[in-house]
Amino acid sequence: MKRRSFLTTATLASAGFTTLLVTGCTSSTKKNEDSVPLGDSNEAFELDEETIGSLREKLTSGKYTSEQLVQLYLKRIEAVDKNGPQLNSVIEINPDAVTIAVAMDKELKSGKSRGPLHGIPVLIKDNIDTADKMQTTAGSLAMAGNIASKDAFVVKKLREAGAIIIGKTNLSEWANFRSTQSCSGWSSRGGQTKNPYILDHNPCGSSAGSGTAVSANLCVVAIGTETDGSIVCPASVNGIVGIKPTVGLVSRSGIIPISKTQDTAGPMARTVTDAAILLGAMAAIDQDDTVTLESKGKAHKDYTTFLDANALKGKRIGIEKKPQGNNKYINALLNDALNLLKKQGAVIVEIDYFDKINAFGQAEFEVLQYEFKDGLNSYLATANAKVKTLKDVIDFNSSNEDKAMPYFKQETLESSNAKKGLDDKKYIEALAASFEGSKSVLKAVFEENKLDAICGITMGPACSIDMIYGDRWGGYSLTSPAAASGYPHITVPNGIVYDLPVGLSFFGTPYTEGELIGLGYAYEQASKKRLKPAFKPSFI
């Protein structure tokens, strides 16, 4: 079995990009056409492509208040997400968002500033607990009504930083760990999220709503979570920046789990600068998540200090010598990127590692099934949901099949529930093969080649939405090596093919987020590949 990727629910093909569902593709230079107007108006959104920094300037100057920013983004969500193109990326609005904004305005007026996120509207994924009036459901109808008693640690950090959580984003149900035939971005509670570049195409998952919302300017930044690809894939195919931190840099307390070995939350933004700002607010030691103790002395409060336009100079960047796929347009984007890296002073080193990592795919899936059962049962035991175990979730779905499972079923939930405890010999062996095996391979590759990072195409362009037969992705994917090993990973926009975005990845060794942010920033500033979505109705 090839490595299973949890950015989708189907095994990634290795035969090349020809398996990707892009029927009717034309050239990479084709212009966006037939864009969908925003609601009832063709007027441009006045906060289009704003950044945390630019919004802070407007707040400081008095041009806007936080209350006005919140109202503008809520109006934008209504116009674009619920009406107009109907992106369906926001699953729930925070009814207290305006009230919180007023309180943040009062603090600013009194001279108190909590930092760069003070008064900034953000969205977070609907598997992250908020002790407010919003539900936390992982997109599942079985979890409807679950209002957390306590903020997730990362939410606590956001609130302390003055960020205003204006709502929660839709996701692939159970973070894409329900079925092997699922359609990314679909949940029984939230429906199907769309890609804002071409509306009948996939936003990738599981952080589909966060990726789409940021790209479509429904917020300035958002929080996603990843087990394998669930931040970097939706960032890539939605034309934005995503950072999957080292497992241990950001707390998982209060986040509906899949894997204690691989899970992490991370920032999603339109610029590397904004992602760096958000990461600094998120990274902290949490006594309730002991893995974060490993980050002591390795984390940074301010990752913007790594923003250096010359950061690529002299860096050794590894590139897999075997082509990721055979699509000439995508390969041309990679070649152009490599040439730009060289122009910026980087040294490109050909390496051979991906097949070795891919060999651990079955072991990774074993690990995640065991850990999902263990982690979810622990979460549900103290949650305010009606279901108290994974078995309860399975039974609910079976009893409400027409609503909960109209397109694909729950074989991954069922196979996970059949696993024994974490003391089972099979789990221990699989963990050694997947986690330790991946780390061992990558450690050797980095050391032997004296690499600063490994680079490649993050993900091929979005496949079509297909809720009946599920996702169909091609051979371009660089999600699993960093995910299975717990290493950090950043993706930045790298251009457009078939009117759809493609990202470029850099991943490194543990706790090198700062260095990766520097590389991503240097490439971003030299390339300027971010292109706003045009809400094209269909591929044809």
Could you give the residue numbers annotated as active site? 125, 206, 230
E strand or H helix at 92:
strand 90-93
Q: Would you call 90 helix, strand, or coil by DSSP? A: strand
| CA quadruple 205, 209, 214, 217: dihedral sign | positive
DSSP character string of 14-39: SS-GGGS--TT---TTPPP-SPPPBT
| CA quadruple 196, 198, 199, 202: dihedral sign | negative
Structure tokens at 256: 């509906």
CA distance 275 to 106: 26
C-beta separation of 425 from 164 below 8 A: no
Structure tokens at 67: 């209350």
Structure tokens at 163: 């960020």
DSSP 116: T
CA distance 39 to 70: 18
C-beta separation of 143 from 136 below 8 A: yes
Selection from 332, 397, 20 nearest residue 204 by Cα: 20
C-beta separation of 198 from 533 below 8 A: no
DSSP 11: P
**Prior bond to 66 cis, omega within 30?**
no
One-letter amino acid for residue 240 of the chain: I
DSSP 463: P
